[in-house]
Amino acid sequence: MTGARAAAIAALAAFAALAIGCGPRRAPGGMESYLPADTLAVAGVRLDRLRASPLYPKLPPVAGAMLAPLHEASYVLVAVSGKYLVEIARGNFTQAPPGAVLVDRTLALGGSQAAVRAALAQHRAGGAAPTDLLAHAGNGTIWIVARGAATLPVTGNAANLNRLIHETEFAATDLTLARQVTFEFTGFCRTPDRARVFEENLRAIFSLAAAAVRQPDLAAVLQSADVRRDNMTVHATLSAGDDAAARLLDLAAK
């Protein structure tokens, strides 16, 4: 699996950061044991659920093209560490996805050769997963959780997510695909004062984004975002139909 595709999957998860939610989420089949010990951010994508959703056919062509080589995978983790970006895919593989190596017929690892070696070494050493990070992972179709020091490999509008992450101790995003597409974003801050500033900045981002969008229905979706603060934690929730969600994803990817 190429670094470009891993970055695209990370960007897809980053789009879920229009809002963040948390709740325990465990990846299937021991995938977490391959996460680098110095993981700064990890995204999970339930590809089986994503493909079954009305949103999938409406994804931007670049996202569809980059996800296509993972057609035999049902779940993928994308981890960003201090040194590497590694992709861990679970599925029923008849052959390795392009640029990946098969650990067995149900698990594939992608990234640079150094990243794959580090993931294998981590697993062989006992695979102590970064539980403090994963404790904030979500339950949705796409989720991402990051330490405040993390910088995600995204560009364009999605790069604004990094500025938000750097204002937190942990940041978590959850995208749920049902009759409505729901984005949940949570920022865990170090102090109540930092949480207050983070809340103000998050409200400003939604307001500016709504003002910049020239499509009234999308502006209305952004204006409907529910932002609230509970001591040192800031939550934001936003819901949209699959068509509006796809167009927001297209804007976020530019």
pLDDT per position as a tens digit, 132-156: 888 888 888 889 899 999 987 777 7
* Spatial contact of 226 and 239, defined as CB atoms under 8 Å apart: no
Q: How far apart are CA 110 and CA 6, in angstroms?
A: 8
**What pLDDT sits at residue 16?**
44
Looking at per-residue pLDDT, the higher value among 134 and 29 belongs to: 134
Helices (H), 79-171: 113-124, 131-134, 160-165
Two tokens, residue 84: 């590497």
Indicate whether 24 pLDDT > 60: no
Two tokens, residue 150: 């993390």
Contacts of 230 by beta carbon, 8 Å cutoff, 6+ apart: none
* Spatial contact of 112 and 9, defined as CB atoms under 8 Å apart: no
Q: How far apart are CA 176 and CA 200, in angstroms?
A: 25
**What pLDDT sits at residue 167?**
93
**What pLDDT sits at residue 178?**
75
Indicate whether 201 pLDDT > 50: yes
Two tokens, residue 7: 């970055």
Tell me the per-residue pLDDT of 43-52, one tens digit each, with 9 for 90 and over: 899 999 899 8
Phi, psi of 234 (to 5 degrees): -120, 130
**Could you tell me the pTM of the whole model?**
0.81
Indicate whether 15 pLDDT > 50: no
Looking at per-residue pLDDT, the higher value among 53 and 189 belongs to: 189
What's the gap between Cα 115 and its chain centre? 19
Residue 57, phi-psi category: left (phi > 0), alpha (psi -120 to 50), beta (remainder) = alpha
Helices (H), 145-215: 160-165, 192-212
* Spatial contact of 90 and 73, defined as CB atoms under 8 Å apart: yes
Mean pLDDT of the region 102-106: 95
Q: How large a percentage of the chain has pLDDT more than 70?
A: 85
Of 11-15, 127-131, 217-221, give the lowest mean pLDDT range.
11-15
What confidence tier does 19 reach under pLDDT thresholds 50, 70, 90?
Answer: very low
